[in-house]
Amino acid sequence: MRHHLILRVITKLLVGTIVLFAFYVQFHGDFSPGGGFQAGVIMAVAFIIYGIVFGLEKVQQVFPPWLVHKMLALGVLIYAATGIVSLFGGMHYLDYGVFSPHHPEHGQHWGILIVEFGVGVTVTGVMVAVYYAFASRPPRMSDEEW
């Protein structure tokens, strides 16, 4: 793929734009269509496109597999910890009013943002882990056999 200069340059430009759009979807998901799942998939697409164009080794230097595996657990822990904080605050599990007792509406907003962030982290990790699993498999046929 060394000879695909235009594809490589365009990919470098697109990756930053895709990541920026993922953050937009993540943090505006409670006001518009979107949220953690959509943002996680969009974020993963940035790394997957980078890996397709530049190769698995390069993307794993940028986003190492150990970090992907940590993200899988971190997102679930963020989600679960949000509910546990609610329980310790004397409310029901995932009752976000505990985050702002004087203004429960603000607490709902903060709680949703935190939970959606946890979902986004997990989905990004899962999608990239699936890509790494498929991309690292040895081919069953060589290119000449096609």
Query: pLDDT by residue for the chain (146 residues), tens digit each?
Result: 566 889 999 999 999 999 999 999 998 866 666 688 999 999 999 999 999 999 999 999 999 999 999 999 999 999 999 989 888 888 888 888 888 778 877 878 888 888 889 999 999 999 999 999 999 988 777 767 76
Q: According to the model, what pLDDT value does residue 143 have?
A: 67
Q: Is residue 146 part of a domain?
A: no
- Containing domain of residue 93, as a range? 5-138
Q: Is residue 117 part of a domain?
A: yes
Give yes or no for a contact between 129 and 67, defined as CB atoms under 8 angstroms apart: no
Q: According to the model, what pLDDT value does residue 95 have?
A: 82
How many domains is the chain partitioned into structurally?
1
Q: Is residue 145 part of a domain?
A: no
The greatest distance separating any two alpha carbons of the chain, rounded to the nearest whole angstrom, comes to 69
16: Cα separation from own chain's centroid: 14
Q: Is residue 59 part of a domain?
A: yes
Q: Is residue 144 part of a domain?
A: no
The C-alpha angle 120, 51, 28, rounded to 5 degrees, equals 25
User: What is the pTM assigned to this prediction?
Assistant: 0.85
